[in-house]
Amino acid sequence: MTHILRIDSSIKTQGSISRQLTDDIVAKLLAAHPKATVTARDLGANPLPATDANWLVAVNTPADKRTAEQAEIAAQSDALIAELKASNVVVIGLPIYNFALPSQLKSWLDQMARAGETFRYSEAGPEGLVKDTRAIVAYSSNGTRMGSDIDFASGYLRHMLGFFGITDVQFVASDHYAIDAEDSLKSANDDIARLAA
């Protein structure tokens, strides 16, 4: 059965283009796979804690040797990793803030970047451990064109997903909304129409 993990990271709960696009992408996937299940995580409304020294110690301490506080800290990261590994498709809302990805989305990536869990080091270099998962990213910006010299978000997100083992990554882009809202949304909707469900 198909399982979809939906990640929204916009701090706007109303009027968010990336949320509108993730809505439309998930709707398309569900139309093609009516029995699919969806897990939704709203990082904009419910931000994750930033990683810090206590987090680093907690996740690198063997589970049977963690203190109660360390176990609680690690449990959040463990849950996020389990959600990702359980999904066949991850749909990510990527609004562009100051030419980069939101800190909320960066925190999600940081929580999951754990050796032995989402990647491992081998003689050939890092190897991603999240296999057979596809990612569809809803890129939204008022004027930062995806792939341009000032886009510091899409390449980074693609790299991090690949680092985790997710190499089938597709983008849907509404990247000039403040310049021409109608054309920007049409471009994104055309991208969605071309997606294989």
SS3 for 27?
Answer: helix
CB 103 within 8 A of CB 9: no
Supply the pLDDT for residue 196. 82
Residue ranges at the known binding site: 10, 16-18
Annotated binding site for FMN: 10, 16-18
Domains of the chain with bracketed CATH: 3-194 (3.40.50.360)
State the burial class of residue 175 (Cβ atoms within 10 Å of its Cβ: 0-12, 13-18, 19+). Answer: buried
Task: Answer whether residue 197 shows pLDDT above 80.
Answer: no
| pLDDT at site 161 | 98
Structure confidence by residue, pLDDT tens digits, 85-137: 999 999 999 999 999 999 999 999 999 999 999 999 999 999 999 999 999 99
Reported as a single tens digit per residue, the pLDDT across 10-56 is 999 899 999 999 999 999 999 999 999 999 999 999 999 989 999 99
pLDDT value at 58 more than 90 = yes
Task: Report which of 149, 144, 147, 145 is spatially closest to residue 158, judged by C-alpha positions.
Answer: 147
